[in-house]
Copies of this chain bind each other. A is one copy, B any other.
């Protein structure tokens, strides 16, 4: 199921439909933007969809380093440190270096900061804390669900969540189920999430234990 770093490029890459700006590119789910250790001439802006940055390993495992959301710009580097893939169907816009301009260094800096945060989350805490932290982190990036009020589209498959947080997919499932059981969130559909108790989530993200108000 996992693709290894030497596989062929962009498996699905269609030209943009007439309605969109010519310079927009549409990528199908799981298409590859670029591979790790490859030269990447342009910066890329995410217009729609979600992109994952992952480091792939020869043993087939991977570590997802970050997710990119609409408005984010992926910096072109001399040599990319990660593989970028479309989590959902994506609309992208190539950006020249001039467009990006002074963000060059601050962009790298941002990536560094994100890595540090992820390291911290990954480093010590329990699966529960990590998941709570993750849910809080993605909260304002998730698009609304057109079919349900107060519901957001939880666009990232469990698989990817697990590889981001350094846990197995099963643990990711179980943790989400526990959150639902305690009323922190609701999951009307697999790809739909309602945030019910942000304060509680924040508390769980901090301390490794539950110890909640149950009385």
Name A's B-contacting residues (CB within 8 A): 55, 57-59, 61, 63, 65, 77, 81-82, 104-105, 108-109, 111-113, 115-116, 118-120, 122-124, 166, 206-207
Is there contact, CB below 8 Å, between A109 and B63? no
Is there contact, CB below 8 Å, between B206 and A59? yes
Is there contact, CB below 8 Å, between B116 and A207? no
In the complex, the chain B residue whose C-beta lies closest to that of A36 is: B116
Q: With A65-B119, A119-B118, A119-B119 as given contacts, are A124 and B166 in contact (CB-CB < 8 Å)?
A: yes
How far, in angstroms, from A61 to B206 measured CA to CA in the complex? 11
Q: Which residues of B lie under 8 Å from residue A77 when comparing CB positions?
A: 109
Q: Which residues of B lie under 8 Å from residue A82 when comparing CB positions?
A: 116
Is there contact, CB below 8 Å, between B116 and A81? yes
So how many copies of this chain end up in the complex?
2
Q: Which residues of B lie under 8 Å from residue A207 when comparing CB positions?
A: 59
In the complex, the chain B residue whose C-beta lies closest to that of A58 is: B206
In the complex, the chain B residue whose C-beta lies closest to that of A207 is: B59
How far, in angstroms, from A92 to B43 measured CA to CA in the complex? 38
Q: Which residues of B lie under 8 Å from residue A119 when comparing CB positions?
A: 55, 63, 65, 115, 118-119, 122
Tell me the smallest distance from the CB of A111 to a CB of chain B, in Å: 6
Is there contact, CB below 8 Å, between A166 and B123? yes
List 29 A–B pairs whose Cβ atoms lie within 8 Å, in order of A's numbering. A55-B116, A55-B119, A55-B120, A57-B120, A59-B206, A59-B207, A61-B123, A61-B124, A63-B116, A63-B119, A63-B120, A65-B116, A65-B119, A77-B109, A81-B112, A81-B113, A104-B105, A105-B105, A108-B108, A108-B109, A115-B115, A115-B119, A118-B119, A119-B119, A119-B122, A122-B122, A122-B123, A122-B166, A124-B166
